[in-house]
Amino acid sequence: MKKHIVIVGGGFAGINLVKSLVNDNRFQITLVDKNNYHFFPPLIYQVATSFIQASNISYPFRRLFSNYENVHFHMGKLVKVDSETDSIETDTGRIRYDYLVLALGTETNFFGMENVQKCALPMKSIEEALYLRNYMLLTLEEAARNKDAKEAEKLQNIVIAGGGPTGVELAGMMAEMGRYIAQKEYPEIKLRFSNIYLIDALPSLLSPMSKLAQEAAYNKLEKLGVKIILNVAVKDYVDNKVILADGKTIETETLIWTSGVIGREVPGIPEESVGKGRRLLVDAYNKVQGTKNIYALGDIALQLTEEKYPKGHPQLAQVAIQHAKNFAKNLKRIEDGKVLIPFKYNDKGSMAIISKYNAVVDLPKFSFKGFFAWLTWLFIHIIPLVGFQNKVRLALDWLRLFITNNPSIRLILQPKRNNI
């Protein structure tokens, strides 16, 4: 009898686990995801800013698995884990498992601020990125029609909460698009009313990265006109006013939230198995504490056993990929009755793009910035894309866009079903 592995979540961890097991006929694999496609989160901000198409960073699961006889796809949202019957309940059916792998990733953390959760614009999914794109374009159209100076300023102010890689990359791209595109295509808009604010509660941008990266990001964004506010947290968002911890306010109709993540909730998992940030506590072999055959990979996994990372591993794509590859080896070793291999993270570095021709890269032994770092960023972000066609298409699109400074996909698309 083949062992049935059910993987919930088709991100970096889920996809790489499937790829590592497809040639082993001892396993039958079912991937469960609420979407029918895998997408590449590090480039989602380029979708939100109309720079690239969503299809450039997405790939359908069924097409990806069409040549794998032992892999099936189940489209559905996880509702509950039932460890007593070794099954999961989804909103589209129940599935039994021999091994359950939870790789659901994270969702936006609003830190309990109800108004922010209700009114701010997150950017964790393709749907949210497309909504943000439409929202920004509609706001520009409204600003172009508006004759009132105070109202125009409120419409043109953009506040980005979160000074990590996503916030920095988003601020840089918006600043450059305002410089190259807004002046040409929106002549009615008075750019003196336009402001991009980047706010973070920490004392520096890109806080997990090197001092060189932090300073390079700050200096370049400042030159682009981004107003950077550090050491101050966003506390509320009321009546189109961002309220800061120091009592100051910023009038805006656009608050983009990139300020934190929290593990997705997994009903049915014991409370004692859930750690800080709602991540699932796992041992050195990715088994969820207090369970017998349930494992967690990627951002949702919290391993406190590796000496170098006593507070858990960073929530990065490389951790998820390495989790998947190590766990695939261990699944095979379980079936072979061999000793398991504890997970140890190999830090390959981190990077962020700041603006056109300008990026920062931190490698384990040194850091660098500028044009070569930008080329490195481009190369590293094309390699992991699923599908050769996606790699080629994105490379060609980037070449055209960086030459022309003019994305051509600024279409306001609001799909709806017409009443007949």
290 in the same domain as 181: no
Q: How far apart are CA 215 and CA 78, in angstroms?
A: 42
140 in the same domain as 249: yes
Residue ending a domain, among 320, 336, 352, is: 336
Residue 51 resides in a domain: no
223 in the same domain as 87: no
* Location of structure tokens 């699961």: 61
121 in the same domain as 202: yes
204 in the same domain as 299: no
pLDDT of 78 > 70? The answer is yes
* Location of structure tokens 């481009």: 378
Segments forming the whole domain that contains residue 93: 3-34+76-108+261-336
Residue 43 resides in a domain: no
154 in the same domain as 203: yes
208 in the same domain as 249: yes
Residue ending a domain, among 290, 311, 336, is: 336
User: Domain containing 212 — which CATH number?
Assistant: 3.50.50.100
281 in the same domain as 245: no
289 in the same domain as 158: no
- Arithmetic mean of pLDDT, 35-62: 91
Q: How far apart are CA 378 and CA 52, in angstroms?
A: 14
303 in the same domain as 280: yes
What pLDDT, on a 0 to 100 scale, did the predictor assign at position 60? 94
- HSE value, Cβ hemisphere, 13 Å, CA-based, for 248: 7
pLDDT of 419 > 60? The answer is no
Query: Of how many residues is the chain composed?
Result: 420
Q: Per residue in 200-247, pLDDT tens? A: 999 999 998 999 999 999 999 999 999 999 999 999 999 999 999 999
Instruction: Tell which residue, 308, 311, 306, 318, has the closest CA to residue 342.
Output: 306
389 pLDDT band (50/70/90 cuts)?
confident
Q: Per residue in 337-367, pLDDT tens? A: 999 999 999 999 999 989 888 899 999 888 9
Q: What are phi and psi of 120, to 5 degrees?
A: -75, 165
Q: How far apart are CA 158 and CA 136, in angstroms?
A: 9
Residue ending a domain, among 230, 259, 288, is: 259
What pLDDT, on a 0 to 100 scale, did the predictor assign at position 405? 66
Instruction: Tell which residue, 54, 56, 22, has the closest CA to residue 388.
Output: 56
- Arithmetic mean of pLDDT, 269-285: 96
Vertex 223 angle, CA 218 and 225, to 5° = 100
Residue 366 resides in a domain: no
- Arithmetic mean of pLDDT, 376-390: 81
Residue 357 resides in a domain: no
Domain count, the chain: 2
379 pLDDT band (50/70/90 cuts)?
confident
153 in the same domain as 218: yes
94 in the same domain as 29: yes
pLDDT of 183 > 80? The answer is no
Average pLDDT over all residues of the chain: 91
